[in-house]
Amino acid sequence: MAQPHTSRFRTVGDGSGIERSDNFTREEVALALRNRGMPLEGLRYPITPSGMHYLLVHFDIPRVDAAAYRLRVGGLVEHEISLSLDEIKARPAVTMPVTMECAGNGRALMTPRPISQPWMGEAIGTAEWTGTPLAPLLHEAGLRPESTEIVFTGADRGVQDDSVHLYQRSLTVAEATREEVLLAYAMNGQPLEPQHGFPLRLIVPGWYGMTNVKWLTSIEAIDHEFSGYQQAEAYRYQTESGEPGEPVTFIQPRALMAPPGIPDFLTRTRLVEAGRVTLSGRAWAGREQVTRVEVSTDGGETWSDAALEAQVGEFAWRGWSFEWDAKPGSYELSVRASCATGASQPDEMWNLQGMGNNARQRIEVVVEERPA
């Protein structure tokens, strides 16, 4: 509603110290309206309902005619292969839960803010993907010895930085032939919906979302470093424009909390009733295992270990929970994950494209004896 908020929930322009300095542009908002985050109460589900899963679509969602559809496997192979959707579905099938996250997740929390899809942490989801492993198909095609990379091409086409292109990404042969890499045609037991890549998409567990090419039409073996826009220009860890930077690859550790209590509509500040509150959420780290989740109820001053559940799958998140004795007052809740490699979550980070920002989540909470 249009009325300014007062009282317990701070908002911009109310004199509480929050500045209207965010200055999000119309273009960022238009992207946020097209793409979708997972509302964080969705963390309660081990498998995200399909319509709640995050979604990023670079260009338009293409319409692909399933009856006319062919997947082409070519390039530096002994035998070019062309398969219909039915032929792909007739191959050996695997179903696997995979936690997927957008590489730009958390971008809008960086200062200064890189201008693109303005994710604040909700670009995640875990689905059960069903498909056929890619490696046997590449072996049947017969990769020539000089092959070094596999290029995946989607049916989606558009313009980015004045480059008109189909969406394309590559993987090294070693990565592309790992056994968990799938050509997926079903999500949570149903055919892919158009926005998730119908009729076929790539699933590369452990890698950020951009790797999981949707509306896949072509797989091509090459003998050089792929230099397409979405590989060589986009999805780089850069600190300055013009420098090549490092490629964005694996999902970094992150824990998220399902915000407790009830929300204020506009500010999403949480109102919690005093007493014992179970805080809970999920944590993941791409190919790595999350070995520790810590919770802070004092804005990151002190941390306590959360209890961990089993991983939902080898490449899927695990639940965590923490009992909090909530007393009346205002709090910043926070949570952070770390994994066996020692990698954890920073308080903040920045890079030019807003990639891989796994800075810890912060949730504003107001605790009252009897909220009304």
Q: Is 372 in the site for a copy of itself (CB under 8 A)?
A: yes
Nearer to a copy of itself, 44 or 70 (CB): 44
Q: Following DSSP, what letter does each residue of 226-255 receive, concatenated? A: ---IIIIISSEE-SSTTS--EEP-BPPPEE
DSSP 285: B
Of residues 221 and 335, the one with the C-beta less far from a copy of itself: 335
d(C-alpha 36, C-alpha 275), whole Å:
34
Q: Considering the complex, what minimum distance in angstroms separates the CB of residue 118 from a copy of itself?
A: 5
Tell me how far apart the alpha carbons of residues 120 and 35 are, in angstroms, rounded to a whole number.
13
Cis check for the bond before 194: say yes or no (omega within 30 of 0).
no
CB-nearer residue toward a copy of itself: 164 or 174: 164
**CB of 224 or CB of 370, closer to a copy of itself:** 370
CA distance 311 to 284: 9
Site map (CB under 8 A) of a copy of itself, residues 133-172, x = contact:
------------------------xxxxxx-x--------
Our finding on whether 39 is near a copy of itself (CB under 8 A) is yes
Instruction: Please state, in angstroms and rounded to a whole number, the distance separating the CA atoms of residues 107 and 121.
Output: 8
- Which positions from 44 through 103 interact with a copy of itself, judged by CB under 8 A? 44-45, 49-53, 55, 57-61, 63
Q: Which is nearer to a copy of itself, 119 or 317 (CB)?
A: 119
CB of residue 57 vs a copy of itself: minimum separation in angstroms? 7
Among 97, 114, 205, 286, which residue interacts with a copy of itself (rule: CB under 8 A)? Answer: 114
Nearest approach in angstroms of CB 222 to a copy of itself is 22
Residue 310 found at the interface with a copy of itself (CB under 8 A): no
Q: Specify the DSSP element, H or E, that contains 307.
A: strand 307-313
Dist CA 274 CA 262 (whole Å): 13
- Among positions 332-351, residues that touch a copy of itself (CB under 8 A) are none
Q: With binding defined as CB under 8 A, does residue 23 bind a copy of itself?
A: yes
Residue 129, classified by CB atoms within 10 Å of its CB into exposed (0-12), middle (13-18) or buried (19+), is buried
Distances (CA, A) of 182 to 9, 20, 172, 213, 321: 46, 45, 15, 11, 32
Give 10 or 336: the residue with its C-beta nearer to a copy of itself.
Answer: 10
Contacting range for a copy of itself; rule: CB under 8 A; set: 42-50, 71-79, 213-221, 336-344: 42-50
Q: Is 272 in the site for a copy of itself (CB under 8 A)?
A: no
